[in-house]
């Protein structure tokens, strides 16, 4: 039996503080909680999962490039880099794999600076405002896209 396709889930700055950082905005789930939930969901759907977090823009770009080499798809919560990083945008432009952007909160209900995304124009779609469940929604959307793409081969 072939190894499952791997989906990379990358998380940007301050997401390591989930569960304690502004729980009224981001919820009480920790990043470890989200990883466990996604590992189980990916396994149920026949996918492997790589789950990482960094506070460094350069490291995030390295992770995006690695996902492009070894992954079938990418779920990205770039945190604040979503709204500020042309470097993240350029790294995503170089990918040949599909990307889904995810956010725990709804950036459009927040400060105006959060209304612009350098990720969204390069993503299949954006899932925001559903808390930790948004990651599973992103996984389902990406898995469905990958399975549909596989059928057309």
Residues annotated catalytic, as ranges: 26, 103
Count of Cβ atoms closer than 10 Å to residue 146 Cβ: 19
* Residues forming beta bridges with residue 51, ordered by sequence position: 9
Output the CA angle 115-134-91, nearest 5 degrees: 60
Integer Cα distance of 63 and 41 in angstroms: 22
24-30: Cβ within 8 A, 24+ apart: 25/104, 25/105, 25/110, 26/104, 26/105, 26/131, 27/104, 27/131, 27/132, 29/131, 29/132
Q: Is 10 exposed, middle or buried (0-12, 13-18, 19+ CB in 10 A)?
A: buried
């Amino acid at each position: 039996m072939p190894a499952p396709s791997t989906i990379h889930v990358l998380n940007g700055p301050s997401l390591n503080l989930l569960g304690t950082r502004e729980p009224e905005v981001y919820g009480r789930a920790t990043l470890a909680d989200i990883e466990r939930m996604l590992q189980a969901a990916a396994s149920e759907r026949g996918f492997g999962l790589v789950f990482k977090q960094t506070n460094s823009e350069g490291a995030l770009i390295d992770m995006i490039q690695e996902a492009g080499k070894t992954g079938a798809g990418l779920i990205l919560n770039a945190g604040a880099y979503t709204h500020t990083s042309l470097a993240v945008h350029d790294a995503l432009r170089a990918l040949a794999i599909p990307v889904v952007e995810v956010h725990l909160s709804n950036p459009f209900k927040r400060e105006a600076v959060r209304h612009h995304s350098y990720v969204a124009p390069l993503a299949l779609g954006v899932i925001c405002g559903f808390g930790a469940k948004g990651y599973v929604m992103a996984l389902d959307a990406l898995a469905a896209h990958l399975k549909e793409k596989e059928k057309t081969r």
